[in-house]
Amino acid sequence: MGTKGVIELAGAGVSVALGGLAQLASPGPVIFQLGPLTIRWYGLLIATALALGITLAQRLAQRRGLDPDTLVDLSIWLVLGALPAARLYYVAFEWDRYANNPLSAFAIWQGGIAIHGAILGGMVAALLFARRNRLSFWALADVVAPALVLGQAIGRWGNFFNSEAFGRPTDLPWRVYIPPAQRPPGLGGVEYYHPTFLYESLWNLGVFALVLWLFFWGLRHPGRLKTGTLFLVYFATYSLGRLWIEGLRLDSLMLGPLRIAQVVSLAGMALGAAGLLWLYVGRRSLPDVVKDS
């Protein structure tokens, strides 16, 4: 890189060679520290994703004839359901790392949350919220889906700053540099790896564009987009991307020889496809938890 000339983009952790190639290098997980106060990229990105997601979901809800304030209330339920479930899911499959110091399992700011756990926890919370407020779960899920996948695209960059969730070694131009302390056992001398967090972030942005386009297409063609479609499309397409991206990673959560994320992704693809077939081939509505008043 030195012979080509390198421009360091301050704060972004991106080295751009004059030849047009690029490599990623995290500036570290901490933005700044003042005494006991530490501001981390991971927490900032999660907060940003939440703020943007809530704002977007409110606007989409208004376009669908739902009370935007309902989405603010729902967001509280989603956070209370998703974040603990995401951490619990991760810790459960990585218990060996926390067994000697169980209190470290609460240090969520150090990274280590599983999006599948967050999705499952959020779905349970949304079901309970919908039932309590006599609302359609699927109508809520449709306006949350674009916000959710946008939040996932943003949140994946927390893995970049923590130098985690990377893939196999590579010499591709867009490789990511991993510090020695973060490298897997047996690969201490290998500097560059697949930036799987970047692959998933870009994939999620593509899914976001798809479900948002479907949302507005549905507004222009009333009655043609059935309730629940957006969430099912999100679930199936996100799972498709996660399936192949997970195959590149070196730090997958495992259950014996199986990569848990791939197993869950296959299930997500199957459930999403089955739901869409139910809606458009079977021409039936999805079962809902809402009760008539």
Per the CB < 8 A criterion, the answer to whether 275 and 286 are in contact is yes
| CA angle, residues 36, 110, 171, in degrees to nearest 5 | 130
Q: Which distant-in-sequence residues (6+ apart) come within 8 Å of 232 by Cβ?
A: 271, 272, 275, 276, 279
Confidence of residue 290 (pLDDT cuts 50, 70, 90): low
Token pair in block for residue 107: 């240090």
How would residue 109 be classed by pLDDT, with cut points 50, 70 and 90?
A: low
DSSP letters spanning 70-87: HHHHHHHHHHHHHHHHHH
Q: Is the pLDDT of residue 90 over 90?
A: no
254, containing H or E segment = strand 254-255
Query: What distance in Å separates the CA atoms of residue 107 and residue 101, rounded to the nearest whole number?
Result: 11
- The fraction of the chain above a pLDDT of 70, given in percent, is 90
**pLDDT (average), residues 116-136:** 95
Distance spanning both ends of the chain, measured CA to CA: 67
User: Can you tell me the distance from the alpha carbon of 216 to that of 142, in angstroms, rounded to the nearest whole number?
Assistant: 12
Half-sphere exposure in the Cβ direction for 34 (13 Å, CA): 1
Indicate whether 3 pLDDT > 60.
no
The CA distance from 100 to 106, in Å, is: 14
Q: 107 or 293, which is more confident? A: 107
> Residue 83: pLDDT band by 50, 70, 90 thresholds?
confident
pLDDT for residue 181: 93
pTM: 0.87
Model confidence pLDDT, tens digit, residues 34-71? 888 889 998 899 899 999 999 999 999 999 999 999 99
The arrangement of strands across the sheet holding 6-9 comes to 6-9, 14-17, 22-25, 176-177, 192-193
* pLDDT tens per residue, range 243-280: 999 999 998 888 878 899 999 999 999 999 999 999 99
pLDDT in tens, 187-219: 999 999 999 999 999 999 999 999 999 999 999
pLDDT given at position 111: 62
Model confidence band, residue 93 (pLDDT cutoffs 50, 70, 90): confident
Residues with Cβ within 8 Å of 12's Cβ and at least 6 positions away in sequence, in order, are 27
pLDDT the model gives residue 94? 81
Q: Is the backbone of residue 286 left (phi > 0), alpha (psi -120 to 50) or beta?
A: beta
5 — pLDDT class (breaks 50, 70, 90): very low
Q: CA geometry: angle at 164 spanning 161 and 168, to 5°?
A: 125
How far is Cα 57 from Cα 73, in angstroms, rounded to an integer?
Answer: 12
pLDDT at 21 over 60: no
Upper half-sphere CA count for residue 236 (Cβ side, 13 Å): 17
What lies within 8 Å, CB to CB, of 291 at 6+ separation is: 131, 134
User: What does pLDDT average to over the chain?
Assistant: 88
| Phi, psi of 206, deg, nearest 5 | -65, -40
- Given pLDDT bands bounded at 50, 70 and 90, which one contains residue 107? confident
Residue 9's pLDDT is 37
Which segments of 11-84 are extended strands (E)? 14-17, 22-25, 30-34, 37-40
pLDDT at site 291: 56
- Helix 41-63, helix 68-93: angle, nearest 10: 140
The mean per-residue pLDDT over the stretch 116-140 comes to 95
How many Å apart are CA 229 and CA 185, to the nearest integer? 43
By three-state DSSP, how is residue 172 classified?
A: coil
